[in-house]
Amino acid sequence: MSRGRFITFEGPDGSGKSTQIRLLGGYLMKKGIDVVYTREPGGTRIGEKIRYIILDPENSEMDPLTEAMLYAASRAQHVAEVIRPALYEGRTVLCDRYIDSSIAYQGYGRGLGEIVSCVNDLAVGGLGPDLTIFIDIAPASCFERIGRSDGDRIESEDITYHEAVYKGYLRLAADHPDRVRRVDGSRDVRAVRDDIRTIVDLMDWDGII
């Protein structure tokens, strides 16, 4: 059987990824495409436990390298248990965050650099997305959307951190223009939805062996 398609969604916290994933999934299912929704960190029983540890505001003393390795550990389990099997079954996986998030948040935001890519290459065994939708919206606008009083440990970081993350995303989009497709996330939900549909409709949907 041909391998399914792997589409990831990236962007700052509050960019609207979760909403757009649901909208795209519904659109694809109406076209007869078998869709799997998932997210990171998490996506598996073990991954959700790791997610809780990473995002718990009480874990403020967490070292950046520990954080990066926990994300990679969750991702390794996710790929082995959910993503790779679904793709081999010919299903289309829509994933809220993947390796690009780690590169942006830990590589750029925490200043860990290339070590993040190295750790994650090991975690996923070379499995990369066919397409990444980058919902581009400035961190200040995201802060207005989600607030900060009840945010998780990552969301609650100051604007300087989130600006560094955002710069990381811009660099990833510039470095991988064939895979990472930027969508202006500052507009209303329907405008963003329509742009994403156009991008996905132009994908090569012939299977990968």
Q: What is the DSSP letter of 171?
A: H
The confidence score (pLDDT) of residue 151 equals 78
- Whether omega before 41 lies within 30 degrees of 0, making that bond cis, reads yes
The confidence score (pLDDT) of residue 147 equals 62
Rounded CA separation 72/121 (Å)? 9
Is 153 within a domain?
A: yes
The confidence score (pLDDT) of residue 68 equals 98
The tokens for 56 are 């718990």
Is 208 within a domain?
A: no
Is 206 within a domain?
A: no
Is 207 within a domain?
A: no
Is 35 within a domain?
A: yes
Domain count of the chain? Answer: 1
Tell me if 174 sits within 8 A of 75, measured CB to CB.
no
The confidence score (pLDDT) of residue 143 equals 75
Beta-carbon contacts of 26 under 8 Å, excluding residues fewer than 6 positions away, are none
Residue range of the domain that includes 156: 6-201
Is 1 within a domain?
A: no
Count of CB atoms situated within 10 Å of the CB of 19: 13
Beta-carbon contacts of 174 under 8 Å, excluding residues fewer than 6 positions away, are none
Tell me if 5 sits within 8 A of 130, measured CB to CB.
yes
Is 183 within a domain?
A: yes
The confidence score (pLDDT) of residue 146 equals 67
The confidence score (pLDDT) of residue 207 equals 53
- pTM, to two decimals: 0.94
> Residue 53: which CATH number?
3.40.50.300
Tell me if 17 sits within 8 A of 135, measured CB to CB.
yes
Q: What pLDDT tens digit does each residue of the chain (209 aa) get?
A: 578 999 999 999 889 999 999 999 999 999 999 999 999 999 999 999 999 999 999 999 999 999 999 999 999 999 999 999 999 999 999 999 999 999 999 999 999 999 999 999 999 999 999 999 999 999 988 877 766 556 799 988 999 999 999 999 999 999 999 999 999 999 999 999 999 999 999 987 775 43
Rounded CA separation 135/186 (Å)? 9
The tokens for 119 are 């750790």
List b or e across 49-83, with b for residues whose CB sees 16 or more CB atoms inside 10 angstroms.
ebbebbbeeeeeeeebeebbbbbbbbbbbbbeebb
The confidence score (pLDDT) of residue 149 equals 53
List, as one string, the DSSP characters of 6-74. Answer: EEEEE-STTSSHHHHHHHHHHHHHHTT--EEEEESS-SSHHHHHHHHHHH-TT-TT--HHHHHHHHHHH
Is 209 within a domain?
A: no
The confidence score (pLDDT) of residue 209 equals 38
